[in-house]
Amino acid sequence: MPAGLNNNKPFTTDDYLGVRPYVYALGDVVSGRGPPTAQNAKQQGQYLAKHFNDDFQLSSPYMYKESGRVLDLGDGLLLEYKGYVMKLPSFFRFVFYKLVD
Same domain, residue pair 49 and 91: no
Q: For residues 2 and 70, give the distance between their C-alpha atoms in angstroms, rounded to a whole number.
A: 36
Number of domains in the chain: 2
How does strand 69-72 pair with strand 76-81?
A: antiparallel
Same domain, residue pair 3 and 40: yes
Rounded to a whole number of angstroms, the distance between the first and last alpha carbons of the chain is 36
Give this prediction's pTM. 0.69
Q: For residues 44 and 29, give the distance between their C-alpha atoms in angstroms, rounded to a whole number.
A: 12
Same domain, residue pair 23 and 45: yes
Same domain, residue pair 73 and 61: no
Same domain, residue pair 6 and 55: yes
pLDDT tens digits along 62-78:
999 988 888 888 888 88
pLDDT tens digits along 26-43:
998 888 888 888 889 999
Same domain, residue pair 15 and 55: yes
Give pLDDT, residue 7.
60
pLDDT band at 101 (very low <50, low <70, confident <90, very high): low
Same domain, residue pair 43 and 73: no
Give pLDDT, residue 35.
86
Q: Range of 32's domain?
A: 1-66
